[in-house]
Amino acid sequence: MKPNAEGLTVRASGGERAGGARIFVIDDEPLLREFLEETLHRSGHEVICAAGGDEALRRISLDPPDLVLLDIRMQGRDGLTLLPEFRRLCPEAPVIMMTGHGTLESAVTAWRAGAFDYLVKPFSADTIDLVVERALSVGALRRENADLRHRLSLQEALAPMVGRSRAMDDLRSAIRLVAPTRSTVLITGESGTGKELVARAIHEGSPRAGGPFIKVNCAAVPAGLLESELFGHERGAFTGAVGRGTGRFEQAHGGSLLLDEISEMDHALQPKMLRALQEREFYRVGGSHSVRVDVRVLATTNSDLRDRVRQGVFREDLFYRLAVVPLIVPPLRDRRDDVLLLAAHFLARFAEENGRAGVHLTPHASELLVRYDWPGNVRELCNAVERAVILCPGVGLGPEHFILEPARAPHGGAVGDSMRERERAWILRVLKETGGNRTAAARRLDVSVRTIRNKLALYEREEAQALDETLRHLRSA
């Protein structure tokens, strides 16, 4: 069978594999490769052969095997050097080392490096079938355990994402699908919606959870320094570069790299970013040797990248490379069912931090929070609750403790051009419902009678001032 363009030969068992496995055979001896290919194919397995490890490593990153048969002595990089890379790329796949020069020392070295078994050439077809069957059984258990660990880690990663709305359920479902993959993810949404939280959930719910999670804010780093920040630099690359600098891509090796506010990346740097995403390699600033990394890229933006492409400030090819899997984080006004859940979550946190046991939302405050449009989204809600906890002298958080920007409620109901007007309307309404009884009104509003008295005095002064202004205007006319 002739090798393909990557130097690999692939032989499947034909049709759907019924119980067969995908097995990589890496050996520089053509006759042994042919023998193993025929033997394993008869057992119903898909066999992928390579004369060296480099081409097999490229294939593994795209198409992980169930088992690897790896020769120790080969031209170029030997099997013991390649073994750690195979173990890192496909940790659940057992690796069987093969050699024609078996020694106790090499066997111990292979086992310590993570090899499942060690075969000395020549060996029979029966021996191969026996060892492969045993290794595949172990591999199946490893994958089952890895799947259970992944489900638990993903569940833990999604726990901070508070909300029971349909929009949040859909977002969590999308994260469950995309997290285990290697795909680049573009996370879009308004400022304050929690895009970084989504990115972290994807990382922690992925097989890379044990690796680093590195963040770079493309808007916060000056355009002239961002290339060095991302890709690193060599000594003497620019004034002040007294030594080699490691970039964020290298720091994120084996993990995930979050490119926050990717829309603000300078246009001149975008071709280098595209190459890094496509080839998984780059050059340090001032360097002449490429650096290969294993990094998953996650990107966020609160801008419409398609508009940026149309404006000519963002490359179309980079946009499509980033948006392999696009996720949209919904604004808080589109998930009002979650507002009180989030408020309770933040309230519990800030009450504990500030020693305010028993503090709670009054019914009118709850109504206010649900009706407000939250232009700053979850971040604004978090800040509003923290501020209310600090400013409230008692245990009941009322509308008067929330300092919010003017906004419009849904269905045309005004939250108010002024939150004080909204507060005043509530207080006067409750007083009317209680027949003017300030004690009863204070109890319903969960405030002190003194607060009611002070508020009424304030309203009287404001009415008097408004009347004076009207008379003054009439006299001047």
- Residues 6+ positions from 231 with CB-CB distance below 8 Å: 247, 249, 272, 276, 282, 283, 284, 285, 291
* Average pLDDT, integer, range 152-181: 85
Nearest residue to 362 (alpha-carbon basis) of 314, 393, 397, 328: 397
Residue entry with tokens 């996650």: 298
Residue 357 is predicted with a pLDDT of: 87
Domains of the chain: residue spans and CATH? 8-146 (3.40.50.2300), 160-330 (3.40.50.300), 334-471 (1.10.8.60)
- Judged by DSSP in three states, 179 sits in coil
User: Does residue 19 carry a pLDDT above 80?
Assistant: no
- Residues 6+ positions from 295 with CB-CB distance below 8 Å: 249, 252, 253, 254, 255, 256, 257, 280
Nearest residue to 254 (alpha-carbon basis) of 9, 452, 61, 125: 61
79-89 and 53-62 are packed helices; what angle lies between their axes, rounded to 10 degrees?
Answer: 0
* Average pLDDT, integer, range 441-446: 74
**Confidence label for 14 from pLDDT (cuts 50, 70 and 90):** very low
Residue entry with tokens 């969590």: 172
Residue 7 is predicted with a pLDDT of: 53
The predicted-structure confidence for 308-342, as pLDDT tens digits, reads as follows 999 999 999 999 999 999 999 999 999 999 999 99
Describe the chain by its helix, strand, coil percentages, rounded to 5.
50, 15, 35
- Judged by DSSP in three states, 470 sits in helix
Residue 477 is predicted with a pLDDT of: 56
Contact criterion met (CB below 8 Å) for 283 and 231? yes
Distance CA(102)–CA(111), nearest Å, equals 13
User: Does residue 147 carry a pLDDT above 90?
Assistant: no
Residue entry with tokens 């829309």: 263
* Average pLDDT, integer, range 407-415: 45
* Average pLDDT, integer, range 166-180: 92
* Average pLDDT, integer, range 195-204: 94
User: Does residue 446 carry a pLDDT above 70?
Assistant: no
Residue 420 is predicted with a pLDDT of: 62
Q: 296-301 and 185-188: which strand pairing? A: parallel
Distance CA(288)–CA(277), nearest Å, equals 19
The predicted-structure confidence for 216-270, as pLDDT tens digits, reads as follows 999 999 888 999 999 999 988 787 777 888 999 999 998 999 999 999 999 999 9
Residue 417 is predicted with a pLDDT of: 43
Is the pTM here over 0.85, yes or no?
A: no
CA angle 375, 323, 89 (to 5 degrees): 120
* Average pLDDT, integer, range 128-154: 82
CB atoms within 10 A of CB 442: 20
Cα pseudo-dihedral 200, 202, 207, 208, rounded to 10: -40
- Judged by DSSP in three states, 211 sits in coil
**Confidence label for 389 from pLDDT (cuts 50, 70 and 90):** very high
* Average pLDDT, integer, range 274-303: 92
Residue 265 is predicted with a pLDDT of: 94
Contact criterion met (CB below 8 Å) for 305 and 314? yes
According to DSSP, the residues that pair with 70 across neighbouring strands are: 26, 97
Residue 282 is predicted with a pLDDT of: 93
The predicted-structure confidence for 454-468, as pLDDT tens digits, reads as follows 888 887 877 777 666
According to DSSP, the residues that pair with 47 across neighbouring strands are: 11, 23
Tokens standing for residue 86:
């195979």
* Average pLDDT, integer, range 93-112: 81
Considering the chain, what percentage of its residues have pLDDT values greater than 70? 87
Contact criterion met (CB below 8 Å) for 98 and 125? no
* Average pLDDT, integer, range 354-365: 90
CA angle 277, 251, 84 (to 5 degrees): 85
Contact criterion met (CB below 8 Å) for 189 and 164? no
Contact criterion met (CB below 8 Å) for 300 and 187? yes
Tokens standing for residue 200:
């972290």
User: Does residue 201 carry a pLDDT above 70?
Assistant: yes
Average pLDDT, the chain: 84
Instruction: Tell me the range of 35-39, 256-260, 442-446 where mean pLDDT is highest.
Output: 256-260
According to DSSP, the residues that pair with 119 across neighbouring strands are: 98
- Residues 6+ positions from 300 with CB-CB distance below 8 Å: 186, 187, 188, 189, 195, 196, 199, 258, 259, 260, 261, 262
DSSP secondary structure letter of residue 404:
-
Distance CA(268)–CA(226), nearest Å, equals 11
Q: Which residue has the higher pLDDT, 213 or 101?
A: 213
* Average pLDDT, integer, range 281-307: 92
